[in-house]
Amino acid sequence: MTAEHTASVTAAPRQGRATMPKVPRRRIPHKKAIATFVLPFGVLFTLFYLAPIGYAVYQSMLVIERDGTFGQAKEVFGGLTQYVAVFNNGPFWTSIGRVLTFGIVQVPVMLGVALLLALLLDSPLVKGKKFFRLAFFVPYAVPGVIAAIMWGFLYSPNLSPFTALTSNINFLSADLVLWAMANVVTWVYVGYNMLIIYSALLAIPTDIYEAATLDGAGQMRITWSIKIPLIIPALTLTAIFSVIGTLQLLAEPQVFRTFSSAVTSTYTPNLAVYSTSAVPNFSLAAAMSVVLALATFALSFTILKFTQRKADQ
């Protein structure tokens, strides 16, 4: 074999690879129709979500200055001045610590009750599931303000029909008012979380239950070893929603201020933001809102990563 023949043989594959036809890129059909359907959402998302966030960040960068003692007030760029004021604001951080204590106790209790109710509805031994499903969900249909007013009257010693209990236990005292609000939040949102968990239980294939039954597993064993592990994503979702709701607690403490002097204007972070904006000090309130949003995101992200790591183990 000559050198020229060898070169021609080795060059043939190279030429074949070089002349290989390219796969044409698939065109997305109906681009205009997709854009038409996405555009309304995009406009509303920008106007009512992105724009307020951007304006809050911009407002948090401003400070008020006056020309002299009685000069006209004007807003000027102040950088991180308002954020420094937030981190030096003791009552604000006390309120965050208070709602974190609230969440550590209330969220597990609420999700535990929601999980128990969902498992009862999913049990083949329970009758009248439609009635109980509606009964468990009805409190969520009551607006949070109305629920807080209703429970506030029930807690009030002078207005409650259960005077034998409220005259001996002051649920509106400084020691118990936080847990009185926790009871209101639990009563309202248990049904909502129960439906999310129950929907996840309904999505589990029945073949798994049948196989477990053939292997001799009872209902308790099926619940502990099959149902609960398979609905961990739903439990994670409800936990994140509950954490976000806890840090945004506003309606209940604002209503309970009319019933108890123990609830101050800075009792929760959102109430502190609301009271600060009413001064008015919109820039400081905006900085508080941004810090609270970042704290909520960090806590929710931590819970999500923790649960994902546990699921991967």
Hey, where are the domains in the chain?
Answer: 95-270
Token output for 280: 């008015």
Helical residues (DSSP H) of the chain, grouped into ranges: 3-18, 31-45, 51-60, 81-87, 90-122, 129-137, 144-155, 163-166, 177-202, 206-214, 219-222, 228-230, 232-247, 251-256, 269-277, 282-312
Half-sphere exposure (CA, 13 Å, Cβ side) for 67?
3
* Calpha distance 289→82 (Å, rounded): 11
* Calpha distance 242→284 (Å, rounded): 26
Per-residue pLDDT of the chain (313 residues; tens, 9 = 90+): 454 455 444 444 445 455 556 656 667 677 788 888 999 999 999 999 999 999 999 999 998 887 766 667 788 888 899 999 999 999 999 999 999 999 999 999 999 999 999 999 988 888 888 899 899 999 999 998 999 999 999 999 888 888 888 888 999 999 999 999 999 999 999 999 999 999 999 999 989 988 988 888 888 888 898 999 999 999 999 999 999 999 999 999 999 999 999 999 999 999 999 999 988 889 999 999 999 999 999 998 988 888 877 766 6
- C-alpha angle 269/260/142, rounded to 5°? 70
What are the distances in angstroms from CA 175 to CA 169, 228, 235, 257, 266?
Answer: 11, 35, 30, 15, 16
- C-alpha angle 22/26/29, rounded to 5°? 160
Token output for 311: 């699921």
CA 312 to chain centroid: 23
CATH dotted code for 95-270: 1.10.3720.10
Q: What is the pTM of this model?
A: 0.81
Nearest CA to 171 among 190, 157, 187, 158?
157
